[in-house]
Amino acid sequence: NNTPRVQRKSKAADALGKCPDDGNIIAAVACFFALERKDEKARTWFKRAATSSPRNGDIWAQWLSFEERRGQQEQINDVQTAFMEQRTPPIQGEHWVRNAIKPENARCQLSTLLQQTAQACASQKLPRLG
């Protein structure tokens, strides 16, 4: 991300001030912490984002992708377990919806869709705050 660190931090604070419960903004802040290599903070913010917007599959996928890159197997399992314990499946998220509507995925388990979406998110750059 070419935006200076201070400017990203300021934009994150502004966005959170305007929309403190928006899962996408919270996930972008988590990505900011991930870029800063503040993994515990990133993990906390991803959890907050998923709790805030549990029906957004992209947020779950970003969190899983983060854990697959930086976490331990236990943390990966924790994300997958929390995802599967939801009462209703995700119906939002650009990558999630794109994967879910593919005919070949019509009978896929949610855990498989999560993994596919995490791979799609991993191939994209982290969300930008700037």
What integer pLDDT is reported at residue 11 of this predicted model? 79
Per-residue tokens: 13:
């604070």
What integer pLDDT is reported at residue 125 of this predicted model? 58
Helices (H) and strands (E) in the chain — how many of each?
7, 0
Residues 2 and 94: their CA atoms lie apart, in Å, by 24
Q: What is the pLDDT along the chain (130 residues), one digit of tens a residue?
A: 566 677 777 777 787 788 878 899 999 999 989 989 999 999 999 999 999 999 999 999 999 999 999 989 999 999 999 999 988 899 999 999 999 999 999 899 999 999 999 998 887 755 544 3
Residues 128 and 130: their CA atoms lie apart, in Å, by 6
What integer pLDDT is reported at residue 122 of this predicted model? 81
Q: What is the residue type of 56?
A: N
Taking the whole predicted model, whether its pTM rises above 0.75 is answered as: yes
